[in-house]
Amino acid sequence: MKNTFLLAFVFLLSSCMGVPDNVNVVKSVDASQYLGTWYEIARLDHSFERDLENVTATYSLRDDGGIKVINRGFNAKTNEWKEAEGKAYFIDPPNADKTNTGKLKVSFFGPFYGAYNIIELDKLYYNYVMICGPDKSYLWILSRTPQLTYPIKQHLIAQAKELGFDTDKLIHVQQTSEIIHYKVGPHVN
């Protein structure tokens, strides 16, 4: 009985690392370009982000070669900021050009990891990204700026719908109303 539980537990953990059916990760991610702050534009609902607005994800290098993850958002109902710190690691070996595939594992809870799959990325400037989890109930659209232009946002949503994500349930995240002028081009920390 104990071995059956252990096998079921290992299977459950490994199933959290997959890529959904008919979905592919991007083939080349330059980790140094990916670092920095991303603004959440849209997401499918989950309890750990419920009622949050002004959500950001900030990535920086860890001493062990991984990526430090800081997710932050404001809950207007409680008038409080919520923050979670985690760590992420690329799963596949580096490509010949030192980039990585868009398949990572991320943990916010000690030794337990979940899938972080980069399924679309602005390869020129790293200005937007679409990420999913191990199944089609997890989806995020992120941008380097608090707003993403309508054509790009609609293209990403249409692409997600074509892949089988329930885009009718997307939450369009409220970001700051402050007007900020952002530099266009490769991201610089």
Report the chain (189 residues): mean pLDDT per 10 consecutive residues: 36 66 98 97 95 97 97 94 97 97 94 95 97 97 96 98 98 77 49
Count of Cβ atoms closer than 10 Å to residue 81 Cβ: 11
Count of Cβ atoms closer than 10 Å to residue 155 Cβ: 15
User: Looking at the domain 2-172, which fold is it?
Assistant: Lipocalin (2.40.128)
CB 39 within 8 A of CB 144: yes
pLDDT for 38: 98
CB 115 within 8 A of CB 92: no
Structure tokens at 132: 């999913």
Sole residue written with tokens 């970001």: 175
Q: Which helix (H) or strand (E) holds 9?
A: helix 2-15
In 3D, which of 22, 16, 18 has the Cα closest to residue 164? Answer: 22
Dihedral class, residue 29 (left if φ above 0, else alpha if ψ from -120 to 50, else beta): beta
pLDDT for 72: 96
Burial of 3 (0-12, 13-18, 19+ CB in 10 A): exposed
Structure tokens at 141: 């659209």
What does the alpha-carbon distance between residue 167 and residue 26 come to, in Å, rounded to a whole number?
A: 20
pLDDT for 109: 87
Burial of 159 (0-12, 13-18, 19+ CB in 10 A): middle
Q: What are the tens digits of pLDDT across the range 7-57?
A: 333 333 445 789 999 999 999 999 999 999 999 999 999 999 999 999 999
pLDDT for 105: 97
All structural domains of the chain with their residue ranges = 2-172
CB 62 within 8 A of CB 70: no
